[in-house]
Amino acid sequence: MGEIILQAKNIDKSFSNGKTKLSVLKDFSLDVDVGQIITIMGQSGSGKTTALNILGTLDQADAGELSINGKQVHDMNETELSTIRNRDIGFVFQFHHLLPEFSAIENILMPTWINGADDRRDRALDLIEKMGLSERKDHFPSQLSGGERSRVAVARALMNKPKLVLADEPTGNLDEKNANKLIDLLGKINKDFHQAIVLTTHNPKIARIGHKQFFLENGSLSEKA
C-alpha cells in the first residue's frame, strides 16, 4: 500500500428543503494513494458531485472525517482550507469553469498567482504545449471549443503540481473523440506527474481508466470486483 493522499471515513451528507431530508451520502469512505487513479461511477443524481465537492473541501460533510495529505480538514479554518485547495488539490469541472475575462494561458497561471509564487509562465507554456494548445494560448474561453476548454481546465488543475486532482465528469460535455482525448491525457498526466486522480463519470468505458473503480449508489460507495 502506498502513501495515502486522501482519506475519507464514514462521510454523511444530506440536504433538507425544510420539510423533507434527502440523504445523499451515507457512510462514504475512500482511501486514495499517491499516484492512484480512482473512478467513481454512478447515475445522474447519485451524489458524485456532492462527494467530490466534499473531498475537495468545496462543501462540508454532516458527519465523518476527511484528511488530505495527512491533515485533518475538520480542524481547519477558511484560510487553511484555501491553502489546501490551492496547493494540494487541482479541480477539473464538468463545465470547465474557466474565467471568461482571462486568456487560456492566464487561466492556467491563475493558481500560481493566487499562490503568490513567482511568475511560472514557463511551466504554464510547457503545460499548454502538452495539452496541444500552444496556438490557442492567448485565446479567451469564448474563442475555444469545448474540448480545448477541458484541456485548459486540466492544465490549470496541474499548474501548482497538486498531489491530488479531482475531476467531476470532465467528459460530460464532450463528444466521444474529445472525451477519449481527455481521458488519454489524464492517463498520461498520471504517469508523467504521478498525481492521484479521483474522477467521477457515468460512462463505464471512461471508468476503466481507474486503478480502482467504485460505484456510488444510494449514497454508498462500493468497489467494483
Task: Out of 14, 23, 86, 173, point to the residue binding other proteins (CB under 8 A).
Answer: 86
* Residue 102 is a binding residue for other proteins (CB under 8 A): yes
Rounded-to-integer distance, Cα 162 and Cα 170, Å: 18
C-alpha cell at 17: 428543503
* Residue 114 is a binding residue for other proteins (CB under 8 A): yes
Sheet with 71-72, edge to edge strand ranges: 21-33, 4-16, 63-68, 71-72
C-alpha cell at 166: 479531482
Per-residue x/- mask for other proteins, residues 39 to 68, rule CB under 8 A? --------------x--x-xx---------
List all residues 6 or more positions away from 126 whose beta carbon is below 8 Å from its beta carbon: none
* Residue 117 is a binding residue for other proteins (CB under 8 A): no
* Residue 91 is a binding residue for other proteins (CB under 8 A): yes
* Residue 135 is a binding residue for other proteins (CB under 8 A): no
Q: How many residues bind other proteins (CB under 8 A)?
A: 26
**Euclidean distance between the first and the last CA atom of the chain, given in angstroms as a whole number:** 18
For the CA atoms of the chain, what is the radius of gyration?
17
Residue nearer to other proteins on the CB measure, 136 or 156:
156
Task: Out of 15, 27, 29, 99, point to the residue binding other proteins (CB under 8 A).
Answer: 99
CB of 224 to other proteins, least distance (A): 27
Mark the segment that binds other proteins (CB under 8 A) among 64-72, 81-89, 141-149, 182-190: 81-89
How many helices, marked H, and strands, marked E, lie in the chain? 7, 10
Residue nearer to other proteins on the CB measure, 181 or 202:
202
Residue nearer to other proteins on the CB measure, 31 or 110:
110
Rounded-to-integer distance, Cα 202 and Cα 45, Å: 10
For the chain, the residue count is 225
Amino acid at 79: T
User: Contact positions toward other proteins, by CB under 8 A?
Assistant: 53, 56, 58-59, 78-79, 82-87, 91, 93, 97-102, 110-111, 113-115, 156
